[in-house]
Structure 1
Amino acid sequence: MAQARGLPNYLTAQNLGNIGYQASLVGIMGVAMTVMLITGAFDLSVASVAALAAAILVGLAPQIGFPLAALAALITAAGIGLLNGAIVQFVGINAFIVTLGTLTAVRGLVLVLTDGRSLMVERADTLAQMLAFESTRVPVFWALLLIAAALCALGLTRRQPLVIGSGIVVAVLALLAGPAFSVAAPVVYLAIFTALVWAVLKFTVIGRNIYAVGGNAEAARLSGINVHAYKLGAFILSGLAAGFAGILFGCRLGAINPTALQGTELTVIAAAILGGTSLFGGAGSVVKTVVGALLLFTLTNGFNVLNLGASYQGLIEGVVVIAAAAIYTIGGERKRTRRVPAEASPVLETMPVPPSGAPV
């Protein structure tokens, strides 16, 4: 009976908006993680940094107010990102080791700040500010139709059927949801952050340099690109995104538990992998990472609607991530295999043929 009721419940506008709301924090950290992976590094400490930012917010907001507490949380998170990047770039320690150590150290700092117990904002006015920042509903029906029209126009101009299909899907979802459809503020924050980072990566010199640094750091250095600056910037962006996600998490509950967001860093990396971001640098798309995050939470949400046990959820999600990584790996190898003969054939065709009887 649960399966018979599952599909109608799943396709409601409220549930679709809920999926975006659940995926928003992972999506925000995933966008920054994608930039990090493009540069050829990664950050395992994002969830711990987010938890620390939430602890700072909840601990300081009743004393100094929400805006100053949020600013302190962001500065702290950016400082940890800068520290990670400086150790990786200037000391030469592998990013995996550095950020794994930071993950443990920052989580310990969260335990120290919270004294191993939950913290809660008790001032009603401060809590109201926090909830307004995180839980405000934003109508998006007309915005979705505008995005759908833009996607269809772009797809028709560039003759890209996939882009046209994306626009049609967005339009259909908007029409199914209706003019009253609205989403929570974190979904809007995710959309704005993704659009900004996508535009920088797609249309600016900074974006091209980021891909160049990840593709071949030595070649980028020889061409005049400041490799250290770009990699440091990626670490700082990762820290800021984690800090902002932590602020949203603290505002969402008005409280923080010492074990909050534990293990979320793996979900963030999984979303990037599902989006096709290369773990070796030089390739990735923030839009696809957001789609990967939505896919992960779509699965989780669907499992909950169908009353599927948590054990099966983890198993199926793990298989999906491995399958996606395998598909991208095999597809990349086939593209490289096709490219080699295509590049080698003109050389073979232009080689002079020795005359008959001449030594080869």
Structure 2
Amino acid sequence: MSDAIGWRRSFGLREAGVYYALALLMAVLALAAAANGLPPYFSTGNLTNIAYQASLVGIMGVAMTIVLITGAFDLSVASVAALAAAVLIGLSPVIGFPLALVAALATGAGIGLVNGAIVNLIGINAFIVTLGTLTAVRGLVMVLTDGRSLMVEDPTVLAQMLAFERTRVPAFWPLLLLGLAALAVGVGMMLRRRRQGRALRLGLMIGAAVMVIAALAAGPGFALPVTVAYLLVITAVAALVLSRTVVGRRFYATGGNAEAARLSGIDVTAYKIGAFVLSGLAAGFAGALFASRLGAMNPTALQGTELTVIAAAILGGTSLFGGAGSVVKTVVGALILFTLTNGFNILNLGASYQGLVEGTVVIVAAAIYTVGGRRGVAA
């Protein structure tokens, strides 16, 4: 009986709904593209393009998920990313790209530290603090840029920036070998015939099969944009830390019940501040990638992206009240949002409807998770 409940929970809307949503959305768009005589939707180029477009939001979304898990949130990430981009472009011709990159990352982490300290040491609500820093940091960007676009003119520095963001990473063999290894692990687990963890074993084998099929379909020349590789590495590390380490369990405990966590010896304040630092660091990295994409930026760059980042986390089922969330599902949530954008572009639909559709998707997702959570409690 408990095993059946575990199956239903693992494959129910609350746990797996975001995966179903992405698969359904892509299937609908593929059928629509075929019906309109458009190129195949599931082409390697199109799918890679979606992942590339979602990479910056995904990187910030991973750190945002950690902040949300601790029971707070950060509205300043887009402004921090824009400031990091301005720092990188402004300093690269003076001190070189590597040192300018370090300065951009330090800028993001420093603002995250300020946010975390104000929220947790002074006790001001995170919404008020990060709304204030959103405005203040954006104003600082306007001051530093004098309201004008910045551009890198040094060809050596520009080449380094483009290499940092535009390099493509061979992915056929890593994806194929990783899929085969995961498939072998899943088969080994199935052969043990233990009733516990059936859903996990099946999910592992399905994921492994998808990786193998994707690698074979793409062919030996398949390569990923380096920003997608950054996203995959960051997501994998964050997921492992959150699910397999003491540090990760303490992040969840901090957001789930801060007082109980404090009584059990966890330094709640340090973990909450640390989450803000990670958020600022991720925003700084995303800003550096954004600036390196074209070697230029304008003072309104990434404006409004903070809402997209939060929407991706909500689509992934991360609780706004803390104690629950998955960085992997947040990345899938980002893919859903950019798949929608991609679909609007491919089908040549008016951009006027895009915000309406995306907002509706977020509300529906939140409703599904809420109803699913109530049913889970009732069960």
Query: Fold-level match, TM-score > 0.5?
Result: yes
Q: Say whether the 8 Å CA contact 1:45–1:100 is kept in structure 2.
A: yes
State yes or no: 1:43 paired with 2:43.
no
* Aligned residue number for residue 58 of structure 2: 27
* Letter of the 2:321 counterpart: F
Q: Please report how far the alpha carbon of residue 7 of structure 1 lies from its aligned counterpart in structure 2 after TM superposition.
A: 5.7
CA deviation digits over 1:223-254, x for unaligned, max 9? 00000000010000000000000000000010
Give the alignment of 1:98-177 within 5 angstroms: 98-156=129-187, 157=189, 158-160=197-199, 161-177=202-218
* Aligned residue number for residue 78 of structure 1: 109
SS of 2:301's partner is coil
* Letter of the 1:21 counterpart: Y
Of 262, 276, 279, the residue aligned with 2:320 is 279
SS of 2:322's partner is coil
Q: Please report how far the alpha carbon of residue 298 of structure 1 lies from its aligned counterpart in structure 2 after TM superposition.
A: 1.2
Range that drifts further, 6-15 or 244-253: 6-15
CA deviation digits over 1:93-142, x for unaligned, max 9? 00000000000000000000110010000000000000001100111112
Q: Say whether the 8 Å CA contact 1:9–1:305 is kept in structure 2.
A: no
SS of 2:224's partner is strand
State yes or no: 1:209 paired with 2:236.
no
SS of 1:23's partner is helix
What are the ranges of 5 or more consecutive residues in structure 2 without an aligned counterpart? 1-31, 190-196
* Letter of the 2:117 counterpart: A
**Residues 162 and 129 of structure 1, relative CA distance in 2, 3 Å threshold:** same
C-alpha separation between the residues in 2 aligned to 1:249 and 1:234?
A: 22
* Aligned residue number for residue 52 of structure 1: 83
Q: Say whether the 8 Å CA contact 1:6–1:305 is kept in structure 2.
A: no
* Aligned residue number for residue 319 of structure 1: 360
CA deviation digits over 1:45-86, x for unaligned, max 9? 000000000000011111111011111111111110000000
* Aligned residue number for residue 305 of structure 2: 264
C-alpha separation between the residues in 1 aligned to 2:334 and 2:38?
A: 21
CA deviation digits over 1:298-320, x for unaligned, max 9? 11112111111111222111111
How many residue pairs end up in the alignment?
338
Larger radius of gyration: 1
Q: Please report how far the alpha carbon of residue 149 of structure 1 lies from its aligned counterpart in structure 2 after TM superposition.
A: 2.6
* Aligned residue number for residue 335 of structure 2: 294
State yes or no: 1:67 paired with 2:98.
yes
* Letter of the 2:293 counterpart: R
C-alpha separation between the residues in 1 aligned to 2:209 and 2:143?
A: 50
C-alpha separation between the residues in 2 aligned to 1:6 and 1:197?
A: 41
Q: Say whether the 8 Å CA contact 1:138–1:182 is kept in structure 2.
A: yes
Q: Say whether the 8 Å CA contact 1:10–1:302 is kept in structure 2.
A: no
C-alpha separation between the residues in 2 aligned to 1:170 and 1:314?
A: 32
Q: Please report how far the alpha carbon of residue 6 of structure 1 lies from its aligned counterpart in structure 2 after TM superposition.
A: 6.2
**Residues 210 and 319 of structure 1, relative CA distance in 2, 3 Å threshold:** same
Q: Please report how far the alpha carbon of residue 148 of structure 1 lies from its aligned counterpart in structure 2 after TM superposition.
A: 2.3
Q: Say whether the 8 Å CA contact 2:80–2:137 is kept in structure 1.
A: yes
Of 221, 232, 236, the residue aligned with 2:277 is 236
**Residues 61 and 143 of structure 1, relative CA distance in 2, 3 Å threshold:** same
Of 11, 21, 24, the residue aligned with 2:42 is 11
* Letter of the 1:159 counterpart: R
Q: Say whether the 8 Å CA contact 2:33–2:39 is kept in structure 1.
A: no
State yes or no: 1:181 paired with 2:240.
no
* Aligned residue number for residue 3 of structure 2: none
* Letter of the 1:259 counterpart: T
Range that drifts further, 230-239 or 10-19: 10-19
* Aligned residue number for residue 7 of structure 2: none
**Residues 23 and 171 of structure 1, relative CA distance in 2, 3 Å threshold:** same
Range that drifts further, 319-328 or 229-238: 319-328
C-alpha separation between the residues in 2 aligned to 1:105 and 1:129?
A: 31
* Letter of the 1:40 counterpart: G
Q: Please report how far the alpha carbon of residue 153 of structure 1 lies from its aligned counterpart in structure 2 after TM superposition.
A: 4.0
**Residues 48 and 6 of structure 1, relative CA distance in 2, 3 Å threshold:** farther
TM-score by length of 2: 0.86
C-alpha separation between the residues in 2 aligned to 1:247 and 1:28?
A: 12
| Backbone CA RMSD of aligned residues | 1.5
SS of 1:201's partner is helix
Q: Please report how far the alpha carbon of residue 146 of structure 1 lies from its aligned counterpart in structure 2 after TM superposition.
A: 2.5
Q: Say whether the 8 Å CA contact 1:2–1:307 is kept in structure 2.
A: no
Q: Say whether the 8 Å CA contact 2:34–2:40 is kept in structure 1.
A: no
Q: Say whether the 8 Å CA contact 1:273–1:289 is kept in structure 2.
A: yes
C-alpha separation between the residues in 1 aligned to 2:184 and 2:51?
A: 25
Of 294, 306, 310, the residue aligned with 2:351 is 310
* Letter of the 1:258 counterpart: P
* Letter of the 1:28 counterpart: I
**Residues 9 and 117 of structure 1, relative CA distance in 2, 3 Å threshold:** farther
**Residues 106 and 15 of structure 1, relative CA distance in 2, 3 Å threshold:** same
C-alpha separation between the residues in 1 aligned to 2:77 and 2:181?
A: 34
CA deviation digits over 1:252-299, x for unaligned, max 9? 010010100000001101111111111111011111111111111111
Q: Say whether the 8 Å CA contact 2:315–2:330 is kept in structure 1.
A: yes
